[in-house]
Structure 1
Amino acid sequence: MRMILAAAVFLVSTPALAVDLVGEFRQGGMILGAAEPGSEVSLDGNVLSVTPQGRFVFGFGRDHGPDATLAITHPDGTPQSVSLSIAPRDYDIQRIDGLPQGKVGGFSEATLKRIQADNAQVAAARANTDLSEYFLDGFIWPTKGRISGVYGSQRVLNGEPRRPHFGIDIAAPTGTPVVAPASGTVTLAESDHFFTGGIVILDHGHSVSSTLFHLHSVDVEVGQRVDKGQLIGTVGATGRATGPHLDWRMNWGSQRLDPQLVAGPMPE
């Protein structure tokens, strides 16, 4: 059986084969799925982890193309193919001036080695996922404040084009509490990465992770299990920053997700 689903916020179930898909079908969106327990699921040929209850998750990166295919093999062997339509987005250009030039370019060999080591730590932490199901319990904003940077925007730093921004920047005073946006396990907790300063990475299970950085204080340790809403650190201006703020990023594997699409509008 094959069907085509257009971009939408919520998708209805398929009663005949009992498959539900809920989420933002657009670049940066995260989708929660449910199939019959015992089903096998893949996205564009990549096998997904499925919980014993038949739940699964996947997402679309910033520059994902307009189409994807979800394949389900039901417990009785019945195949199902779902064609997904992913809505494109328009991204802003954000110019940030006043950064220390030593944090923008012209890095020494020693600094480049430090950046490479930081990046390797982050990649290893994001790859360190398990089959916990914390991602199913929803996400909250890790702190409150003015949104000073949005997902996907092309960054121009001190007049020089750089990589797009993959998170949400929340401006708040230094020392403002930062809490876990969802329950999870700490896979990285460092206080002095070159670009990100104080950084914490939380694994929410099934390759879903949150990264929070520019922290003034880091109040958790690697291997620690934290609950949604539990204090993990405080807002700061560490790393490459012009002022105190929290940068919150989300990943599904290597796909960069938009936290604002996952958590919804910031509460008043």
Structure 2
Amino acid sequence: MKKIISVYQKKIALRLREISLSWDRCHQLKHSINYTLLNCGKLIRSVIILLGLDDLKMDSNQYIDVACAIEMIQSYTLIHDDLPEMDNATMRRDKIANHLIYGHSIALLAGDALLTDTFLVLSNLKISDHQKVALIHLFAQKAGTSGVCFGQTLDMINQTNGFDDWSEIEDMIKYKTCALFELSFQTIGLLALLNDEKLSKLAELGYLYGMAFQIQDDLNDDNLVDDINLIHKTNYHQIFGKEKALEKIDQILSQIENLCIIIFGEKNKIFAYLKSTFK
């Protein structure tokens, strides 16, 4: 499994570098974009797409650009989230935050450019017009007021005032974190021409994985309580305790396993990968 994932990651990283060559018009903007985009991280959202397509017996090599598009969206959200007006973060993936290197204005434009060029990449895909329109619609939906933008708004409220109960936090996670995982899984369904029932289950899969991912991420961040930006944020384990949080993750993973079997079959590889991201 590790070798398969490594191959996917290398293919995505190489293609992202090729796509980045088109940004030569503006030296400063290009470097700001590449600083975040090419510092790839684990590429979880894009790997999900390729692995899911392989499980459905499709040639994932034909859809590397779709995987790159979701990483462009992800990078845009990271740059903007780190800005002083948002989370005011100083570090991202063990590197200094983009805006502290290139300035707030250039970082803002880099995020804008990544979001916009995502749709340029999608428009050039060699798929049917019907699939292309559906995919562009889905990407716009998950990136905008029905997705991460709304989720970030809720996060800002949480950062300022804190939330009183889990239902408010759950809403924030649903839109900020789950949206792009739902995008990954639903993209698989659109490319594989799955029926509406399967598409609905893929959306549920993305939601569940995103929820477990965020609960785990908050547990990992627990040692950063001295960070002023985390002081007022409320999360699952602060309300229910760490033991309950770990139990919740295990419960969600069981649901995810069942959905993976229904959608991708008994011998799917995708669940093993999803589970491995919690180690």
- TM more than 0.5: no
Larger radius of gyration: 1
1 or 2, which has the higher strand percentage?
1
- TM-score, scaled relative to structure 1: 0.28
TM-score by length of 2: 0.27
